[in-house]
Structure 1
Amino acid sequence: MTVVNKYVVSGDSWNLNLFYLAIQAIVCTGTITLCKQMGLIRDLAPFDKDKARKWFPISVLLVGMIYTGTKALQYLSVPVYTIFKNLTIIVIAYGEVLWFGGSVSPLALLSFGLMVLSSVVAAWADIQSALTSNPVTGDAVSAMSTLNAGYAWMGLNVFCSASYVLAMKKVIKKMNFKDWDTMYYNNLLTIPVLIVLSLLAEDWSRPNLERNFPIESRNSLLVGMVYSGFAAIFISYCSAWCIRVTSSTTYSMVGALNKLPIAISGLIFFSAPITFGSVSAIFLGFVSAAVDEREFSQ
């Protein structure tokens, strides 16, 4: 899904992130509703206004997480995005210490240190790549400006993601939500928020729509949007299940193991520069996740 998101939002003229996320939520919610009517999903409770009201703040946090994520992905390469995403684990871990009385072991601290180091190496490699751009044409200045915007959105995404995961863990326990309930309310309640924000903040003029959906890539973009909605179903279900039965930190740390294949796919599909710095950052990020996994399997 990360690779598809990068493909959709990476165009120079793309500026309909909220609309794209609304399409994802609509596809996901529509599919869940259809499966329930066909009898494929049996443990999804009927819609409850009181539950929706209590869950709505979680959906707002979800909007913040997915929007800042797509904005960061728009400016950063897939490998750098996935490496910096690991920093969310540190925020979640200390959030659990404050909210749920957890603790951070020495092995976890070692893993956190490796995560920070991998992010520093990734940033250094990115900056070096930007500085080696042609200074005569102003490419270096433009590249640095793009990186700064990407890092700013990435920083917001880290805190939005941590807030969402921690809050969802707390509310799931309080409301005794099942996994399908979590998925359904999460996606359903984000639809009106995303549509309203898109209508208010995004340019819906015909020329802008034509820039975002050029004829030569229009069909592939639409297919990518629909596919990402279906992928969101599986991601949402697995995430809800994992958060419900484990700690938020464990969920994040296990999820960090997907960073290696995602980073490699970014190098393959988007021709991200393969340098010693970028490869070292990916390796350090994977080692930090492996250390975390070892810690939580003991």
Structure 2
Amino acid sequence: MADAEKARSRSRPDEAPIKTTEAQRQYSKVAFAVAAYATCSASMLIVNKLCITYLPAPTVVLFLQLSFTAVAIRAMTHYGIVDADPLDVEKAKPFVLVALAFLGALYTNVKTLQYANVETFIVFRCSTPCLIAVLDYVFLGRAMPNLKSWASLGAIVCGAVTYVSFDADFEVRAYGWVLAWYVVFAFDQIYIKYAVDQSSLSVWGRTYYMNALAVVPVSVMGLLSGESSAVSRGGLTREDEAYQWGWAGFCALTASCVAGVVMSYSAMQLRGMISATSFTVVGTMCKIATVVVNCLIWDKHASLGGLAALFICLFAGLGYEQSPLRTPQPATTKPATVGSDKV
């Protein structure tokens, strides 16, 4: 009996380092996933803006991006570079709605960028975490944010309101598309997080399913809108001039397709690691790089006061802390939070 007690006492000191090492390893994975997604998200908005400038056909751009991503993942799986599950009817059923939500968010995103400056889109993106936090509580079992986090989210909203008061480039059609994106984006964030948590597919598998299943509806949209035929015959217009394929447009489109693969994977990976609200806050914060680049390359900017308010929005997100689950998950389930739960 005494020997057993001594053995237990000797084993205890070894347990803490193991737990600490595992926690550090998980925290490092999340940190890397956040950095990868932040980099992709910050650059993707600029790349898409370039695409729409050179090729003013949002559905055609989306079709090419989605098709390229799906084909690229299948090719990499064939050569053993990645491991993506093949399409299966039963596994695909929950992802049909995921694909539609994903497509709706992408389409309204691109349409917003077609009719508004990048800052206009970003400021509305800054206000989404407040709504997602409530939906996280109602549908995904998260606790409500603590006081510090609400203060952070409130500062984001205040900065957004201030920005709108400085925005001289107000366009009813542009803001109408932003509102449409806002509604679709909220559903997208919550439902995709739910589907990811319930799915047994690998990260590459989920990425492949989402892009592949979205190709068909976006093809239909392209045909109905007439954009596909307009592109083929050069009937699109850009700044009162007939659109013609060019080297700059081809390079921008190619870059957007390649970036789409990395963006899709990094987003799907991060969704599985953190809460829907945290994912939204991370996406909002990383747009600071987009604002800086946008100010350097575009003529259509916000005013100095508007940009100052936008910076307040983005940096306020640094104070947000991820809310824990109201009911702790079993030990066998994938953990929803890692480390200190701080984004």
TM-score, length-normalised on structure 2? Answer: 0.75
Match of 2:284 among 237, 256, 261: 256
C-alpha displacement at 1:195, in angstroms?
0.6
Indicate if the aligned counterparts of 1:121 and 1:280 stay in contact, CA closer than 8 A: no
Letter in 2 for 1:150: A
Indicate if the aligned counterparts of 2:207 and 2:264 stay in contact, CA closer than 8 A: yes
Match of 2:94 among 50, 54, 65: 54
Partner secondary structure for residue 246 of structure 1: coil
Report the equivalent of 1:271. 299
Count of aligned pairs: 277
**Structural mapping, 1:1-298, within 5 Å:** 1-10=44-53, 14=56, 16-41=57-82, 43-102=83-142, 103-126=144-167, 129-130=168-169, 144=170, 147-203=171-227, 204-205=229-230, 206-209=233-236, 214-215=243-244, 218-273=246-301, 275-292=303-320, 296-297=341-342
Indicate if the aligned counterparts of 1:78 and 1:266 stay in contact, CA closer than 8 A: yes
C-alpha displacement at 1:200, in angstroms?
1.1
C-alpha displacement at 1:65, in angstroms?
0.2
Q: Which residues of structure 2 form unaligned runs of 5+?
A: 1-43, 324-340
Stretches (4+) displaced over 6 A: none
Partners of 2:209 and 2:219 in 1: CA distance: 16
Indicate if the aligned counterparts of 2:234 and 2:243 stay in contact, CA closer than 8 A: no
The structure with the greater share of residues assigned to helix is: 1
Letter in 1 for 2:47: V
Distance 1:197 1:273, change over 3 A: closer
C-alpha displacement at 1:221, in angstroms?
1.4
Indicate if the aligned counterparts of 1:83 and 1:281 stay in contact, CA closer than 8 A: no
Partner secondary structure for residue 86 of structure 1: helix
Partners of 1:19 and 1:3 in 2: CA distance: 18
Partners of 1:294 and 1:168 in 2: CA distance: 18
Indicate if the aligned counterparts of 1:27 and 1:226 stay in contact, CA closer than 8 A: no
Partners of 1:261 and 1:8 in 2: CA distance: 18
Partners of 1:79 and 1:259 in 2: CA distance: 9
Partners of 1:80 and 1:231 in 2: CA distance: 23
Indicate if the aligned counterparts of 1:72 and 1:81 stay in contact, CA closer than 8 A: yes
Identical amino acids, percent of aligned pairs: 21
C-alpha displacement at 1:62, in angstroms?
0.8
Partner secondary structure for residue 246 of structure 2: helix
TM-score, length-normalised on structure 1? Answer: 0.86
C-alpha displacement at 1:99, in angstroms?
0.5
Letter in 2 for 1:115: I
Partners of 1:195 and 1:213 in 2: CA distance: 23
Partners of 2:242 and 2:192 in 1: CA distance: 35
C-alpha displacement at 1:70, in angstroms?
0.7
Partners of 1:157 and 1:79 in 2: CA distance: 15
Partners of 2:117 and 2:236 in 1: CA distance: 25
